[in-house]
């Protein structure tokens, strides 16, 4: 399972004034579902990620203490045109789901009291 995101900021251990216990690069991403999350970047592509890049984050489950936990690692850089196209489709889908949750009886309407 993968999620599409757009890099807002790259956080490198080589940034001036930064110190890190390892050589891992991280990135602040705006995800297709409107979340802002910092993810680890795969060392294979760490030197190639930059602000504005569309990327795929690997959410495949990995076992941690016997429980499946998402991998949460940036593993692929997507072509800009394709990234914009995919992002638009995902955001349209998100908007449709939001609209379908709001009904005329008030259930699902944010901020509206029930009762």
* Residue 48: domain span: 2-101
Question: End-to-end alpha-carbon separation of the chain, Å?
Answer: 39
112 within a domain of the structure (yes/no): no
Q: Positive or negative CA dihedral for 6, 8, 12, 15?
A: positive
Q: What is the pLDDT of residues 56-83, one digit of tens each?
A: 999 999 999 999 999 999 999 999 999 9
**CATH number for the domain harbouring residue 10:** 2.40.50.140
- Residue bearing tokens 């959410």: 59
Q: What is the pTM of this model?
A: 0.79
Task: Give the total number of structural domains in the chain.
Answer: 1
Which is nearest to 75 in space by CA: 60, 61, 55?
55
* Contact call for residues 80 and 74 (beta carbons, < 8 A): no
Q: What is the pLDDT of residues 96-114, one digit of tens each?
A: 888 888 754 445 555 555 5
108 within a domain of the structure (yes/no): no
Compute the distance between CA of residue 88 and CA of residue 92 in angstroms, rounded to an integer: 6
């Amino acid at each position: 399972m993968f999620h599409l995101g757009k890099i807002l900021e790259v956080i490198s251990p080589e940034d001036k004034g930064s110190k890190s216990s390892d050589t891992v690069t991280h990135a602040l991403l705006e995800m297709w579902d409107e979340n802002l999350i910092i993810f680890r970047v795969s060392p294979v592509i760490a030197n190639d990620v930059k602000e504005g890049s569309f990327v795929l984050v690997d959410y495949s489950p990995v076992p941690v203490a016997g429980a499946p936990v998402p991998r949460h690692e940036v593993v692929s850089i997507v072509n800009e045109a394709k990234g914009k196209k995919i992002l638009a489709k995902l955001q349209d889908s998100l908007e449709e789901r939001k609209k379908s949750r709001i009904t005329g009886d008030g259930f699902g309407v944010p901020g509206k009291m029930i009762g």
